[in-house]
Amino acid sequence: MQTYDYDVMVIGSGPSGESAALNAAKHNKRAAVIEERPMVGGGCTHRGTIPSKALRHAVKQLMRFNTGRLFREIGHSRQIPYPTALSVATGVIEKQVEMRSKFYARNGIELHMGQASFVDDHTLAVRGADGVTEMLRARDFVIATGSRPYRPEDINFTHPRVYDSDTILDLKHTPRKILIYGAGVIGCEYASIFSGLGIKVELINSFDYLLAFLDDEISVALNYHLRDMGVMVRHREEYERVEATESGISLHLKSGKKLRGDALLWCNGRTGNTDTLNLPAVGLEADQRGQLRVNRQYQTETPNVYAVGDVIGWPSLASAAYDQGRSAAAVSRGKETVRYVDDVPTGIYTIPEISSVGKTEKELTEACVPFEVGRAFFKDTARGQISGEDVGMLKILFCPDTLKLLGIHCFGAEATEIIHIGQAIMKHEGAGNTLRYFITTTFNYPTMAEAYRIAALNGLNRLTGS
C-alpha cells in the first residue's frame, strides 16, 4: 500500500488550480497547491484578466467623464497618465489575493510556494525561492500551470520599448503612440484601453476581419467603433521585423509598410507553461505550443495526471478554467460523469464590450440551417438613453418554425452580463428553448435586458411580415 502526502496535488493557483483544489478539499480529500509566484491567484489575477479589466474600468470612467454632458459643464476634458489608470488594478489585485488566500486557509489546503517539477508519477520536487527543494508525494496531480505570452525569437523583449501583455503592466509612462501587433481578443481589448486614454493606436491584424469567430455584423461593428475611437486598424498585414531604438519603434511589415511608434505591444499567441515541469518523468510531452492533450475527463495520457486551464489550450478563458478545474477534481475522486467544457459564451471586454452564445449567421448558413433574426438597438432602449450607453445591439438568431434560439450576439454596454439571460433560455431542452419566453415574461423597466423583448418582437414581426 503506497503512502502519499496528499490525495491531489495541484500545480498552479490560477482559476483552474484553485477550483480543482477547492473541489477536492470540499469532498474531504487531502489537497495541496504548488505556486511559483510569491502570491496566489495565477496569471489571471496578476497579469491577465484582473489587471486588464480593472484598467479598462478606469478608462471607461474617464471616457464617461470626458463625453458626459453633465461633466462637460463642470470641467474640461481630462487625460490621465497610463500608470495612474493602471494603479487602480493594484487595489483589486490585493483584494483578490487576500480573498483567495483565505479560501485555501479555510479549506485546509496546504500551499507550497515554489516551482514544481515531476520526479515520477507520484512524486513532485518543489524548489522554493530560497533554493531548498522538498519532495512531495500524491496519488493524483492536476497540472494547472496556465500560459504566458508567446515571444518570437527575433524580437528583443528586453528592449524598453517592446512589451507583451504581461510586461505592459510594468509600463511606467504614457506613450504618445503605441503599435499593437496581433488583433485577437487581448490586442483588441488593449487597443480600446489605450485609445480611451487618448493614446494613438495602430492595431495590426494578420487576418481579413477582426475576431473572425464573431458574427460578421458584430465584427464589423467592432471595427467601426475602434476606428471611431481613433484606432488605425490594418488588416492582412504580417510583420517582417521589429526595429527598436532609443528614439522609437519601427515595425516593418511584409507589405513594405513601415509603422512608427513609441512602444510596441506584442499580442500574438500564447505558450503553455510546461517547460519547467519535467514532463518526461511522467511519460508526457507537450506540443509545440507547450500545451497538453487531455481526454473528456481532463486526464492526460498518464491517467493520474490531469491538466486544466490555459495549459490545455482552447478556450483559454478564466471562465472555463474554473469549470475545468472542478471537473478534473471530481474525476480524481471517482466521479464518472463530469462536465467537459466545450460550450462557453464569448466575453470580450473591448469598449464597447461584446458577448455571444450559440451559432453565428455564417455558421448557420454554411450548415444550411434556416434562421430568422430579431434585433434591438440600445439607442432604442430607455435604459440606454438614460445611461448614455446607447451604442450597441442585441441580435437573436432563431428557428422560424419552432422559434428555438440558435444564437445570441450582443455588442454594447453590459453585453457580457445580459448574454446570460439568453444563454439560460438556450440551455433548456426541447420546448423550453423558445423566443416566446421573451414576450411572455415581464422584464424590469428600464433595463438593458429589455432588449430581449424588443429583439424578440422584432424577430416575430419579421416572420409575419408586419
Ligand X SMILES: Cc1cc2nc3c(=O)[nH]c(=O)nc-3n(C[C@H](O)[C@H](O)[C@H](O)COP(=O)(O)OP(=O)(O)OC[C@H]3O[C@@H](n4cnc5c(N)ncnc54)[C@H](O)[C@@H]3O)c2cc1C
Footprint on this chain of ligand X (rule: CB under 6 A): 11-17, 34-37, 42-44, 48-49, 52-53, 115-116, 144-146, 165, 186, 273, 276-277, 309-311, 316-319, 321, 347, 349
Minimum distance from residue 390 beta carbon to ligand X (Å): 24
* Residue among 267 and 394 whose Cβ is closer to ligand X: 267
Tell me the closest approach of the beta carbon of residue 450 to ligand X, in angstroms: 25
Most distant CA pair in the chain, distance: 76
Give the dihedral sign, CA 308/310/316/321: positive
Q: How far is the CB of 407 from ligand X (least distance, A)?
A: 20
Q: Which is nearer to ligand X, 127 or 362 (CB)?
A: 127
Rounded to a whole number of angstroms, the minimum distance from the CB of residue 32 to ligand X is 11
Closest to ligand X by CB, 364 vs 419, is 419
> Considering the complex, what minimum distance in angstroms separates the CB of residue 114 from ligand X?
7
Nearer to ligand X, 310 or 361 (CB): 310
Least Å from the CB of residue 190 to ligand X: 7
Beta strand pairing call for 133-143 and 6-11: parallel
| Pick 129 or 369: Cβ nearer ligand X | 129
The distance of closest approach from Cβ of residue 216 to ligand X in the complex, given in angstroms and rounded to an integer, is: 23
